[in-house]
Structure 1
Amino acid sequence: MRPQKIVDKDLLIALTSVFRAKGYEGASLKELSEATGLKKASLYHRFPNGKQEMAESVFNYMAQWVEENIFSALNDESFSPEVRLKNGLAQIKTLYAGGKEICILRALSMQAGMDLFEQNISIGLTKWINAFTEVGTALQLSSEIAKEKATQTLIEIQGSLILTKGLNDITIFEKSLQNIENRYLKT
C-alpha cells in the first residue's frame, strides 16, 4: 500500500481554509485539490461522496476542535468561572487567528450549504450558547440572564468577525472579546 501524501489533520486544515474562504457553494474541486496538494481522483478516493463529504468532515473536525478547546475551557470546573471565561475567550481568539479567520458555521451556512448542513449548524450554535450559558450561571447569573448574555456573546463574536474582515481591522475582534469578558465580569 502506498503511503498517503497528506495526513488527515493536514488535509482537513487545508480543506477548512478553502471552505472558510469560499463557503460551500463557492469552493471548487480545483481549489480543494490545489489546497490539499492532492489530485481530484485522490480527493474522491478519500471522500467518495465528494465535496459534501469534505465539508461534513471539515465541520466535524472544527466541531471537535471547539469541543476540546473552547467548550472544555468554559466548562472546566477545576477553575473558577472567571478563569474559565478567560480561557474560553483565549481559545476563541486562537480559533479565529485573532480575528483573521471567519467562522466555519458562517461559511457553510451560505447558499446551498444551509440546506445541506442546517441541522449541524443549529446544533453547533446551540452548543455555543449552552457553553456560555453554563459559565454565566457559574458566575451567579440567573438562567435567563445567562442565556441572554450567551446569545449576545455569539452575536458579538460573529458580528465582530464580519466587521474585522470587512474593515481589515483586527482590533475590532480583539475589543469584542474584551467587551464580552467585561460584560460577564462587570469590570
Structure 2
Amino acid sequence: MRPQKIQDEELLSALSNVFRTKGYEGASLKELSEATGLQKASLYHRFPNGKKEMAEAVLADMDLWVTKHIFKTLEQEGIPPSVKLKQSLDQISKLYNGGKDNCIFRALSMQEGFDHFHDVITKGFKGWLKSFTALGLSVGQTNQMAEKNAIQTLIDIQGSLMLCKGMQDTNIFINTLKQIEERYN
C-alpha cells in the first residue's frame, strides 16, 4: 500500500479553505484537486461520493474541533466563567483566523449547499446557542436572558465576519469578540 500524499488533517484543511472561499456550488473539482495537491481520481478514491462527501467530511471535522475547543470549554464545570469565555473567544478567533476566514456554515448554506447541509448547519448553530446559554447561566443570567444573549452572540460573530470581508477590516471581528466578553462579565 502506497503512503498517502496528504494526511487527513491537511486534506480537510485544504478542502475547507476552498469551500469557505467558493461555497459549495462555486468549488470546482479542479480547485479542490489543486488545493489538496491530489488528482481528481485520488480525491474520488478518498471521497467516492464526490464533492458532497468532501463537504460532509469538512463539516464533520469542523464539528469535532468546535465541540472540543469551544463547546466543551464553555460548558465545563469547575472553571470560572471568565476563564471559560476567554479560552473560548481565543479559539473562536483561531477558528476564523482573526476574522479573515468565512464561516463554513455561511459558505455551505447558499443555494444547493443549503439543501444538502441544512440539518448539519442547524445542529451546529444549536450547539453554539446551547453553549453560550450555558455560559450565561453560569454568570447568573436568567434562562431567558442567557438564551437572548446566546442568540445575540451568534449574530455578532456571524455578522462581524461578513462585515470584515465587506469592509476588509478584521478589527471589526476583534472588537466584536471584546464586546462579547463584556456581555458575559
Question: Is TM more than 0.5 here?
Answer: yes
Distance 2:87 2:166 in 1: 27
Q: Write the mapping of 1:82-161 to structure 2, written as runs, cut at 5 A.
A: 82-161=82-161
TM-score, normalised to structure 1, is 0.98
Q: 2: CA distance between counterparts of 1:53 and 1:177?
A: 33
Q: Which sections of structure 2, spanning at least 5 residues, go unmatched?
A: none
What is the alpha-carbon distance in structure 2 between the residues aligned to residue 181 and residue 123 of structure 1?
24
Cross-structure match for 2:41: 41
* Structure 1 alignment gaps of length 5 or more: none
Instruction: Please list the CA deviations of residues 30-67 of structure 1 after superposition, one character each: whole Å capped at 9, or x if unmatched.
Output: 00000000000000000000000000000001111101
Identity %: 57
Q: Distance in 1 between matches of 2:85 and 2:61?
A: 23
C-alpha displacement of 1:94: 0.6
CA distance in 1, matches of 2:92, 2:177: 9
TM-score (structure 2 length as normaliser): 0.99
Runs of 4+ residues over 2 Å off in structure 1: none
How many matched pairs? 185
What is the RMSD computed on CA atoms of the aligned residues? 0.6
Aligned residue in 2 for 1:51: 51
The Cα offsets for residues 120-167 of structure 1, whole Å up to 9 and x where unpaired, read as 000000000000000100000001100000000000000000001111
- State the secondary structure of the residue aligned to 1:161: helix
Whole-Å separation in 2 of the counterparts to 1:89 and 1:2:
41
- Write the distance in 2 (CA, Å) between the matches of 1:184 and 1:69: 19
